[in-house]
Amino acid sequence: DILKLSVDQYGCRFLQKKLDLDSSIKDVIFNKIFNNLINLIIDPFGNYLIQKLIDHLSTYQKDLMIEKIHGYLFLISINQYGTRSLQKIIDKISNTYQIDLVIKGLQMNDVPNVSIEDNNIVKLIKDLNGNHVIQKCIFKFPPEKFQFLIDSICMDNNIVRISTHKHGCCVLQKLLNNANFNQILKISNNLLIYLDDLINDQFGNYIIQFLFELNFLKSSNSINFLIDDFFNRIYGNLIQLSCLKFSSNVVEKFIKILKHKQNYVYLIEIIKFVDSNFEILIKDKFGNYVIQTLIDQFYDVVELSTEMNNLILNIKSYLPVIKSAPYARKIQLKIQQLETNYNLMSSASSINSFERNGGHGGGNFHTNSAFQFDNDQFRNPKNQYYMNYNSNPHFINDQQFISSSTQFIYPPPPTNSDFPAPNQFQSQ
């Protein structure tokens, strides 16, 4: 009895070998199991026979199989065995009729324990097994055929439910990678509408970052509209977002895509904003990474050296305050590297520590006399900068930040003839 063999571990293997040796037996097996397809597809052993059989079926037989099971695709998809069989069936689809049947079946709501108010597609996307069926549809179907996914995702606030779910986040990224231009725009607009719910979510933040990386958008002017909309939505909360665990990653990613000249207007605003609030950011365990990312962009935005220089000088002056923080050394090294390659020390005041009455930050700085720049130290044969620290308590005996030494060694000065000579850095 073929049906009994199909649900037996060894009998199932026997039938699979028979199919490999003689594919003509497929008609006999197909006819014998046809009325029990649903049970076999979700059977621990029978599902393997279905997966093997689908390789040998004719287009007409596949039409019959999908017609038979399409009303149960939801239940098959969420079954740990059924999901494997259905993915194989979708992978072997050979005509539009079969695609349309699968789409119809996946959307059917007349299945047990699923209310009409619930969206089957959302449930499948979030399901441990069902999400793989949806991904198979994305990879197998042309974009116009998985429009039903776009429509379901963008209905109501479904995009929040999907983006903030570990499986939904993955599916949505696959969808964005394979969707056409209009579909990407529809999803991106929907994402921005619910940005507040996504940007600091442990999964939702990845979707926003992924959106910035889409080559499809980068190659069109649409990325400019996306950047403009995103900037307007976050600017008022930029400090708060920069100091949160997940949203700070999004802010960093956003900064990185602003290095193109057409986006300088946004980058300048962020630089100014950070410069005005760097005291908050540099002391925050997440906000400091935003500052580091901004410093890293200097190499790509040398046209904005004036704006960046002011920010970096302020940051540099504040390093003594955060010297015990684990990230202080990283910021220090980044600034040193910039000083090696670019003329950041453009005035006498740039080698001094700045302090503002009542705190540190942009504006109204005065020279701290604890910093004295000795021009004679440029006579060092290795041509290195040295800066002597007198009794400033911020700089003494901290292995993590500087060293136990009271001397701070700078990298070699720039050799470019356009840069000012060392004696131009002498403090006033």
For residue 304, what is the DSSP state? G
Domain final residue pick, 220, 254, 270: 220
Alpha helices by DSSP H, 201-263: 204-213, 215-218, 222-234, 238-242, 247-256
Q: How far is CA 94 from the centre of its chain?
A: 35
Rounded CA-CA distance 257/259 in Å is 6
The answer, yes or no, to whether residue 364 has pLDDT greater than 80, is no
| pLDDT tens-digit series, residues 61-93 | 999 999 999 999 999 999 999 999 999 999 999
Rounded alpha-carbon distances, angstroms, from residue 151 to 126, 156, 175, 190: 16, 10, 12, 11
Q: How confident is the model at residue 343 (pLDDT cuts 50, 70, 90)?
A: low
Domain contains 395: no
| pLDDT tens-digit series, residues 158-192 | 999 999 999 999 999 999 999 999 999 999 999 99
Q: Over pLDDT 90: what percentage of the chain? A: 58
Burial of 232 (0-12, 13-18, 19+ CB in 10 A): exposed
Domain contains 382: no
Same domain, 118 and 155: yes
Average pLDDT estimate for 405-421: 36
Give the pLDDT of residue 114: 52
The answer, yes or no, to whether residue 416 has pLDDT greater than 90, is no
Query: Which H helix or E strand runs over 331?
Result: helix 328-341
* Number of H-type helices and E-type strands within the chain: 25, 5
Rounded alpha-carbon distances, angstroms, from residue 283 to 277, 314, 339, 360: 11, 13, 23, 12
Rounded CA-CA distance 37/73 in Å is 12
Give the pLDDT of residue 250: 98
Domain contains 357: no
Domain contains 336: yes
Classified as helix, coil or strand, 407 is strand
Give the pLDDT of residue 378: 29
Which of 321, 242, 256, 329 minimizes the C-alpha distance to 287?
A: 242
Classified as helix, coil or strand, 367 is strand
Same domain, 188 and 157: yes
Domain contains 289: yes
Q: Are 276 and 362 in contact (CB under 8 A)?
A: yes
Q: How far is CA 115 from the centre of its chain?
A: 34
Domain final residue pick, 330, 347, 364: 347
Least confident of 189-198, 232-241, 328-337: 328-337
The answer, yes or no, to whether residue 10 has pLDDT greater than 80, is yes
Give the pLDDT of residue 106: 96
Domain final residue pick, 185, 220, 255: 220
Same domain, 85 and 71: yes
Residue 372 bridge partners (DSSP): 388
Q: How far is CA 395 from the centre of its chain?
A: 38
Q: What tokens were used for 97?
A: 């009729």
Domain contains 75: yes
Over the chain, what is the mean pLDDT? 80
Rounded CA-CA distance 152/2 in Å is 41
Give the pLDDT of residue 367: 30
